[in-house]
Amino acid sequence: MLIDTHCHLNFPDAFPDPAAEIEAARVAGVEALVVVGIDLESSEAALRLADSFEEVHAVVGMHPNTAGEAPEGWLSQIEALARRPKAVAIGEIGLDFHWKDTPPDMQMQALLAQLDLAARLDKPIVFHCREAYDELLTVLEARGSGRYLFHCFSGDLDHARRALALGGILGVDGPITYPKSEALRELVRAVPLDRLVLETDSPFMPPVPYRSKTNHPAYLSLICDGLAQALVTTPEEVESATTRTAKAFFGI
């Protein structure tokens, strides 16, 4: 069975009927879904889904692109959410220097505060990082190894090696199926299979043949197949290794 380690069924505009999404995913072999928050509202929504559906687990946190608009006292609210039983990690947090919605120094403050929170609560961390791998990895290297998941990894091989040296694991998404993703396929071949997990990032980044459409957790097996092709192994092998790693990381 597969685990979608990163999806946004907590985005009601994209997913007005999450129950139908969860059922379609189950039929497609997805046994568990990790729903990830990007701000207070979506983190609460992730927990509401997790409380309603046994196979759903929540990740709560303030995304770098929303940190600039976070209300006063947001950190203690995230902490309260993170203490609830089905909150399995802090995320998605990090740095995004592509979309400059939030000034970099504010992104850094939110990142550091949530790294401290995760340490205090002994929770693993899901990172969002775009065009800021050097900066993020430098911060983490100063703090030491940890339970780090680099969601939708888009760094280069050197970044991947640094992430692995910190004990990190890498999320693989729809782009592994894109014809132009040869560099990504080469990169994953240099990563031990037990350091990779599968994610859809629904509703974003759909795999082939659904590009430009809405992505769904039920499409996860296409990403599993794409990774298996890149690694020249079987989907069964990828499925069992990534599921084992995801369960260990999130403690589910």
For 158, half-sphere exposure in the C-beta direction (CA atoms, 13 angstrom radius) is 4
| Cβ atoms of residues 126 and 151 within 8 Å | yes
Distance CA 10, CA 45 (A): 5
Extract the runs of DSSP E, i.e. beta strands, from 138-217. Answer: 148-150, 169-172, 196-198
Structure tokens belonging to residue 248? 């260990």
Beta bridge partners of 33: 4, 56
To the question of whether residue 6 is assigned a binding role by annotation, the answer is yes
Residue 57 marked as a ligand binder: no
Q: How many CB atoms lie within 10 A of CB 24?
A: 15
**How large is the angle between the packed helices 104-121 and 133-143, nearest 10 degrees?**
40
What's the CA gap between 93 and 107, in Å, rounded? 9
Is 201 one of the annotated binding-site residues? yes
Helix (H) or strand (E) holding 5: strand 2-7
Residues of the binding site for a divalent metal cation: 6, 8, 92, 128, 151, 201
Residues of the binding site: 6, 8, 92, 128, 151, 201
